[in-house]
């Protein structure tokens, strides 16, 4: 593989004084304007995107119009919202009225949504300028952003490495500084694992906190939307703008979304931090283990109580996920038949409708999506439903109980986000190794609890210096505690 020239500059480790929150403040203080910020961002996108392939589509015209209208409102003394001044990238599985919504798939290559996802409407209402749609693994199935119909996304920390997936374009855009922040979706780790690989913050809320209306469905009982950002406070601000009940998504919760960081970070000495034994195994890369140990030592030294936790079902999460997620995907993706939705193969004279469906789906979907559909159809079929799907639902319940028991002993669970740093593009990981990327993240989706990945420092591999992520999980609907704890750990890690 040829190495594209590293023709862009980026902050390998973010300056804490230069996150979205600080940038928004500078716009409000009149030091700069949204339009000026956007123009410099668009220039950076032009120079970095040919190497990174983070964006599938840049929405320059509509972003310029939004930026101008926000500048005009600010000049008139109006308050356009907490995100006014920010430039945000959007994963290409959110329906947006501007541009296309392709989900990284040929199947939706020409699809233009007539409506905005609720999360998008709320970002706009909060004053965000949406700069473009980011590349992703097709239909959000993958851990590397290599399974994208528009080519692989590259990691700004190592141009021949993957950025993680499936929200790899979003993570690469944030890491490269070509957007202030981004939004993604997380069905089994697709926000947190790319955040870890790219050295940014990635957050997935409790199931039901953010409306999935207008998010192209993958595994409906697992999918959640969340931010990728430069700091915990940025992630909290974006989450708060998107969260809350929505009449268009009956699974959204009516619990109040509290401002997360009003009370500041926690005093570490008041915290019981649970370390799952199963997350500290020798499957972890030595650099990942070392950074994890250093984080635990720093917390202990700051007075936190470190509690050993057993989560024996950790590894069963992957098997459970790879039954439930494909089952739901096979049902969700059945609508793409070329007649009701999506790409249609050229009809052949005399061809039956069945054959047209089959050719359409085999031409429109990539191999990973086809594999998941077949797996999902199999586990839902009459002869195997009880053995696989029903059994997976039973294990799902046990995993939830295991978390409930763990949270009676600690306030937060802490471990690595992924067992290893970003791997090489085309490393041709066998399927199981690829699926094992998510061994520490999937269970939060299975149990529906909130989880965050924060930058945990850098590790060395083959002469390259790569980020790793620290993963934190709290009980359902405890986002406020999670952000406060994450903020505590973030400032400890930044000062070490
Ligand atoms: N990597 C996991 C998968 O391939 C998770 C994807 C996701 O969270 N969307 O399914």
Q: Which of 35, 51, 179, 190 is catalytic?
A: 190
3 state SS of 342: coil
Mean pLDDT of 348-368: 96
**What is 1-496's CATH number, 3.40.50.300, 3.90.1300.10, 3.40.250.10, 3.40.640.10?**
3.90.1300.10
Residue whose CB lies within 8 A of the most ligand 1 atoms, among 94, 105, 136, 141, for a mutation test: 141
pLDDT for position 247: 98
Domain boundaries of the chain, sorted by first residue: 1-496
pLDDT for position 69: 97
Task: Give yes or no for residue 5 having a pLDDT over 60.
Answer: no
From the alpha carbon of 191, which atom of ligand 1 is closest? 8
Cα 324 to middle of ligand 1, angstroms: 12
Residues 448-477: tens digit of each pLDDT: 999 999 999 999 999 999 999 999 999 999
Mean pLDDT of 35-59: 96
pLDDT for position 496: 63
| pTM of the model as a whole | 0.96
Cα 163 to middle of ligand 1, angstroms: 14
The CB density around residue 96, as the number of other CB atoms within 10 Å, is 24
Alpha carbons 370 and 355: distance in angstroms, whole number: 16
Mean pLDDT of 238-265: 94
Cα 93 to middle of ligand 1, angstroms: 13
Q: Strand pairing of 451-461 and 464-473?
A: antiparallel
Contact, 159 vs 117, CB < 8 A? no
pLDDT band at 481 (very low <50, low <70, confident <90, very high): very high
Catalytic: 166? yes
Atom 10 of ligand 1, residue of closest alpha carbon:
141
Cα 84 to middle of ligand 1, angstroms: 31
Task: Give yes or no for residue 3 having a pLDDT over 60.
Answer: no
Catalytic: 480? no
Among the ranges given (11-15, 62-66, 169-173, 441-445), the one the predictor scored with the smallest mean pLDDT: 11-15
| DSSP letter assigned to residue 82 | T
Listed in sequence order, the residues at least 6 apart from 399 whose beta carbon sits closer than 8 Å to its beta carbon are 313, 316, 317, 320, 443, 446, 447
- Cα distances (angstroms) measured from residue 312 to each of 327, 390, 401: 25, 20, 12
Cα 466 to middle of ligand 1, angstroms: 22
Ligand 1, CB within 6 Å, residue ranges: 140-143, 166, 186-190, 218, 325, 438
pLDDT for position 10: 60
Listed in sequence order, the residues at least 6 apart from 356 whose beta carbon sits closer than 8 Å to its beta carbon are 338, 339, 344, 345, 347, 348
Mean pLDDT of 268-277: 97
Residue whose CB lies within 8 A of the most ligand 1 atoms, among 134, 139, 142, 419, for a mutation test: 142
Among the ranges given (179-183, 262-266, 339-343), the one the predictor scored with the smallest mean pLDDT: 262-266
From the alpha carbon of 165, which atom of ligand 1 is closest? 1
pLDDT for position 4: 43
Residue whose CB lies within 8 A of the most ligand 1 atoms, among 94, 144, 325, 328, for a mutation test: 325
Task: Give yes or no for residue 12 having a pLDDT over 80.
Answer: no
Q: Which of 35, 113, 143, 166 is catalytic?
A: 166
Q: What is the mean pLDDT of the chain?
A: 95
In this structure, what token pair is assigned to residue 115?
């409506």
pLDDT for position 11: 60
Task: Give yes or no for residue 308 having a pLDDT over 50.
Answer: yes
pLDDT for position 494: 83
Contact, 150 vs 56, CB < 8 A? yes
Alpha carbons 316 and 320: distance in angstroms, whole number: 6
Helix (H) or strand (E) holding 110: none
Mean pLDDT of 52-67: 98
Task: Give yes or no for residue 2 having a pLDDT over 80.
Answer: no
CA proximity to 215, closest of 93, 369, 88, 56: 93
Task: Give yes or no for residue 1 having a pLDDT over 50.
Answer: no
Atom 5 of ligand 1, residue of closest alpha carbon:
188
CA proximity to 63, closest of 88, 80, 31: 88
3 state SS of 30: coil
From the alpha carbon of 437, which atom of ligand 1 is closest? 1
3 state SS of 243: strand
Task: Give yes or no for residue 292 having a pLDDT over 60.
Answer: yes
Alpha carbons 442 and 319: distance in angstroms, whole number: 10
pLDDT for position 492: 92
Catalytic: 319? no
| DSSP letter assigned to residue 60 | H
Cα 176 to middle of ligand 1, angstroms: 23
Task: Give yes or no for residue 9 having a pLDDT over 80.
Answer: no
């Amino acid at each position: 593989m040829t190495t594209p020239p590293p023709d862009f500059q980026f902050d390998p480790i973010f300056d804490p004084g230069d996150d979205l929150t600080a940038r928004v403040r500078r716009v409000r203080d009149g030091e700069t304007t949204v339009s000026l910020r956007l123009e410099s961002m668009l220039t950076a996108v032009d120079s970095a995107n040919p190497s990174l392939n983070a964006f599938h589509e840049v929405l320059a015209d509509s972003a310029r119009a939004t930026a101008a209208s926000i500048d005009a409102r600010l000049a008139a003394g109006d308050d356009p919202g907490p995100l006014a001044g920010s430039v945000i990238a959007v994963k290409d599985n959110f329906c947006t009225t501007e541009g296309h919504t392709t989900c990284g798939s040929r199947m939706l290559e020409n699809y233009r949504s007539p409506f905005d996802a609720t999360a998008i409407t709320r970002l706009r209402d909060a004053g965000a300028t949406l700069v473009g749609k980011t590349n992703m693994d097709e239909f959000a199935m993958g851990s590397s952003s290599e399974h994208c119909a528009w080519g692989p996304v590259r990691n700004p920390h190592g141009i021949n490495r993957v950025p993680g997936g499936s929200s790899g374009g979003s993570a690469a855009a944030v890491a490269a500084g070509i957007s202030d922040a981004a939004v993604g979706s997380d069905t089994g780790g697709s926000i947190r694992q790319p955040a870890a690989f790219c050295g940014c913050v990635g957050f997935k809320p409790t199931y039901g906190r953010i409306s999935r209306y207008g998010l192209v469905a993958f595994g409906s009982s697992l999918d959640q939307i969340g931010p990728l950002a430069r700091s915990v406070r940025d992630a909290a601000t974006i989450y708060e703008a998107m969260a809350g009940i929505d009449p268009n998504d009956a699974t959204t919760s009516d619990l109040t979304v509290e401002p997360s960081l009003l009370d500041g970070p926690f005093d570490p000495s008041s915290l019981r931090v649970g370390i799952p034994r199963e997350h500290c195994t020798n499957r972890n890369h030595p650099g990942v283990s070392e950074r994890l140990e250093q984080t635990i030592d720093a917390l202990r030294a700051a007075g936190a109580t470190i509690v050993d936790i057993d989560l024996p079902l950790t590894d069963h999460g992957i098997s459970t996920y790879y039954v439930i997620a494909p089952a739901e995907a096979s049902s969700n993706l059945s609508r793409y038949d070329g007649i009701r939705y999506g790409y249609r193969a050229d009809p052949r004279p005399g061809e039956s409708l069945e054959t047209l469906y089959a050719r359409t789906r085999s031409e429109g979907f990539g191999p990973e999506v086809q594999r998941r559909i077949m797996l999902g159809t199999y586990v839902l079929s009459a002869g195997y439903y009880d053995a696989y799907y029903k059994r997976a639902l039973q294990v799902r319940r046990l995993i939830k109980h295991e978390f409930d028991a763990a949270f009676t002993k600690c306030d937060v669970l802490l471990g690595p986000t992924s067992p290893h740093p970003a791997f090489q593009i085309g490393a041709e990981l066998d399927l199981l190794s690829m699926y094992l990327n998510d061994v520490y993240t999937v269970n939060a989706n299975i149990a529906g609890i909130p989880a965050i990945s924060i930058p945990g420092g850098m590790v060395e591999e083959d002469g390259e210096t790569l980020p790793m992520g620290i993963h934190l999980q709290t009980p359902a609907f405890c986002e406020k505690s999670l952000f406060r704890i994450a903020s505590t750990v973030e400032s400890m890690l930044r000062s070490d």
